[in-house]
């Protein structure tokens, strides 16, 4: 990926896409790319946040480790998403850890540069607020799904979001391993396996890292059903 490609993707990220060119260019002036391999640690919970990350390519998970050693996945980000804004601007410790769950290209923006730019360009504050609000919205959506949907429905919704069409047959590539998918959907790995088995009844067939969906519309309707009706359709 060329430096120009990296810059173009960053310019269209959720953090920067609404900014005037001069403000976005000022933010990007001190940014630098970072390449990671799958499994690389990006930062650890408790480290002081000094930079903001924008995902240019690949997938990153944010997670916390409980006192008993269990890992809780907070969110998974991909291209054009940013993370770490709120804590980096205040120089606070990261409340989560971040790990690359695939090979990644990240753009690293020094928080100090962003703070200096905020003093000169107050409109940047609105972009940061908007990005933070999006993160909050996503977390609220995840909680709602866990509370109101069956595991099979959450998995169905996840697969629908990977589709590049709204109807007909579609083959999607699972973007990261099933342990991470399970954590992202608030399930244990064995529960995810049962959910995949149940989705065969609505035309989902999994082979290694791919899923064939016979009818995207039907899968979308299943994901949106009342949970009581959804369960009644599955063994």
**Series of mean pLDDT values for 10-residue runs along the chain (235 residues):** 87 85 87 95 96 96 86 91 89 95 95 83 74 70 74 94 92 93 91 94 92 95 75 52
Residues 6+ apart with CB under 8 A from 43: 49, 84, 94, 97, 98
Q: pTM value?
A: 0.81
Do residues 183 and 194 touch, judged by C-beta distance below 8 A? no
220 phi, psi to nearest 5 deg: -65, -40
- Report d(CA 69, CA 12) in Å as an integer: 37
pLDDT value, residue 140: 67
3-146, what's its fold? Answer: Jelly Rolls (2.60.120)
Domain boundaries, the chain: 3-146, 149-232
138 strand-pairing partners: none
pLDDT value, residue 89: 86
Considering the domain 149-232 in this protein, what is its CATH number? 1.10.10.10
Residues 6+ apart with CB under 8 A from 177: 101
Measured in whole angstroms, how far is the alpha carbon of residue 167 from the centre of its chain?
24
């Amino acid at each position: 990926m060329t430096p120009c490609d990296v810059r173009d993707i960053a310019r269209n990220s959720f953090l920067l896409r609404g900014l005037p060119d001069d403000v976005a260019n000022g933010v990007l002036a001190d940014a630098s790319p970072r390449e990671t391999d799958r499994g690389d640690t990006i930062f650890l919970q408790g480290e002081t946040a000094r930079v903001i990350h924008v995902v240019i390519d690949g997938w990153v998970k944010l997670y916390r480790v409980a006192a008993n050693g269990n890992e809780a996945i907070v969110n998974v980000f991909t291209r054009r998403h940013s993370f770490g804004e709120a804590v980096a601007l205040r120089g606070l410790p990261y409340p989560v850890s971040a790990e690359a769950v695939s090979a990644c290209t990240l753009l690293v923006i020094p928080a100090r540069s962003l703070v200096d730019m905020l003093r000169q360009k107050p409109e940047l504050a609105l972009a940061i607020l908007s990005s933070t609000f999006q993160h909050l919205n996503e977390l609220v959506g995840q909680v709602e799904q866990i509370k109101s949907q069956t595991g099979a429905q959450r998995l169905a919704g996840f697969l629908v979001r990977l589709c590049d069409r709204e109807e007909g047959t579609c083959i999607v590539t699972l973007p990261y391993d099933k342990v991470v998918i399970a954590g992202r959907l608030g399930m244990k790995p064995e529960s995810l396996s049962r959910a995949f088995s149940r989705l065969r009844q609505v035309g989902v067939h999994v082979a290694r890292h791919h899923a064939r969906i016979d009818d995207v519309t039907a899968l979308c309707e299943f994901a949106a059903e009342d949970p009581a009706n959804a369960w009644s359709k599955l063994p």
